[in-house]
Amino acid sequence: MKNMYNFVKNTHKNISWITIIDSWKPGENIWLIAITHWNEPVWLKIFEYLVNEFKINEKLKWWKIYLIANNIEAYIKYSKSEDKNKFRFIDDNMNRVSNKKFKNWSYEHKRFYELKQIFDEIDFVIDIHSVSKWNDLIWISDTKYKDKAEKFFDVETILIDEIWNTWSIIWEFIRKWKEAYWIECWNHVDDIWFKNWVINILNFLVYYWFINWRIDKKHDNIKIFEFIEEIKVKTDNFKFISDFINFTKIWENEIFAIDEYNELKHNLWTDIYLWIIAKNPKKWDWAWFLFRKLK
């Protein structure tokens, strides 16, 4: 918790939790946003690495990098909580509010609209998340940036989607023709894979000439999955049939979860892959996704 306060003091236009690394040369700005969900502490490790170890402020060639902690109330609650996976947000999923009517009692709604005031200053966005299941690092890209994503992301898997469907934070940028991605890091608190996450963020900065470095790429055969469906948990009595790891192929009419009395299966004609982001998803939260494998 102590280190977090390196970032707490910084504000931008009276908006809290924004640290700006400025090269003092004009141009495009990149926004690294993080901690949309409270149980995803990788943001802090990445911010700290960039600022304290990598010394990004000395290496930045031009433009600005904004380091933004989105949902800090949730993170503070997470830090004090005994059950680290209990909730993902205070009262609404900030990554699904952009199409919703403004709720003035909701922390996430207020924070989202506060940040929205500075969206125009931003040209590129990476939204950093993590998951509670085993996974290599995964990038999520809008369909229109798929070819680009393959050039600089060193990952096993890229997920593509029509991001406008998701009402996520990055959708706000994509609809204005700005480039935005979403990254899902391996298990929330893992040190071994931390380097991989960082390499990918540095690769992105190199590709767009923010820093003089080299693109580090070990994966040649990137698997690409296309999003098909996202499903919500409807009851408190929800259970996956087995401990699905990574992307699991499921057959037509194969039951993969039970939501009280409802057996979940797909009846699509094609091969479908299931990907779970939360081991014990909560009622009314998005918890798993169905994909089609493109490559």
Which residue, 129 or 266, has its beta carbon nearer to Zn ion? Answer: 129
| Terminal-to-terminal C-alpha distance of the chain | 41
Query: Burial, 247: exposed, middle or buried (Cβ in 10 Å; 0-12, 13-18, 19+)?
Result: buried
Least CB distance from residue 133 to Zn ion, whole Å? 12
Least CB distance from residue 278 to Zn ion, whole Å? 9
- The reply on whether position 96 binds Zn ion by CB under 5 A is no
| Angle ∠(39,41,44) on CA atoms, nearest 5 | 155
Least CB distance from residue 35 to Zn ion, whole Å? 9
Which residue, 169 or 250, has its beta carbon nearer to Zn ion? Answer: 169
Least CB distance from residue 127 to Zn ion, whole Å? 8
Range in contact with Zn ion (rule: CB under 5 A) among 123-131, 186-194, 239-247, 281-289 = 123-131
Range in contact with Zn ion (rule: CB under 5 A) among 122-130, 205-213, 242-250, 255-263 = 122-130
Range in contact with Zn ion (rule: CB under 5 A) among 126-134, 148-156, 170-178, 286-294 = 126-134
- The reply on whether position 223 binds Zn ion by CB under 5 A is no
Which residue, 45 or 129, has its beta carbon nearer to Zn ion? Answer: 129
Helix or strand or coil: residue 87? coil
- The reply on whether position 37 binds Zn ion by CB under 5 A is yes
Which residue, 168 or 203, has its beta carbon nearer to Zn ion? Answer: 168
Alpha helices per DSSP H over the chain: 5-8, 42-48, 56-59, 72-80, 107-116, 146-152, 169-174, 194-207
The residue at minimum Cβ distance from Zn ion is 129
Which of 129, 158, 170, 196 touches Zn ion (CB under 5 A)?
A: 129
Which residue, 21 or 67, has its beta carbon nearer to Zn ion? Answer: 67
Which residue, 274 or 277, has its beta carbon nearer to Zn ion? Answer: 277
Least CB distance from residue 267 to Zn ion, whole Å? 29
DSSP state of 49: I
Instruction: Look at residues 139, 129, 137 and name the one whose alpha carbon lies nearest to residue 89.
Output: 129
Range in contact with Zn ion (rule: CB under 5 A) among 16-24, 72-80, 129-137, 147-155 = 129-137
For Zn ion (CB under 5 A), the number of binding residues is 2
Query: Burial, 99: exposed, middle or buried (Cβ in 10 Å; 0-12, 13-18, 19+)?
Result: exposed
Show the tokens assigned to 212: 């003089």
Radius of gyration, alpha carbons of the chain: 19
CA–CA separation, 81 and 121 (whole Å): 35
Show the tokens assigned to 190: 């893992």
With beta carbons less than 8 A apart as the criterion, state whether 184 and 129 touch: yes
* Residues that bind Zn ion in the complex, under the rule CB under 5 A: 37, 129
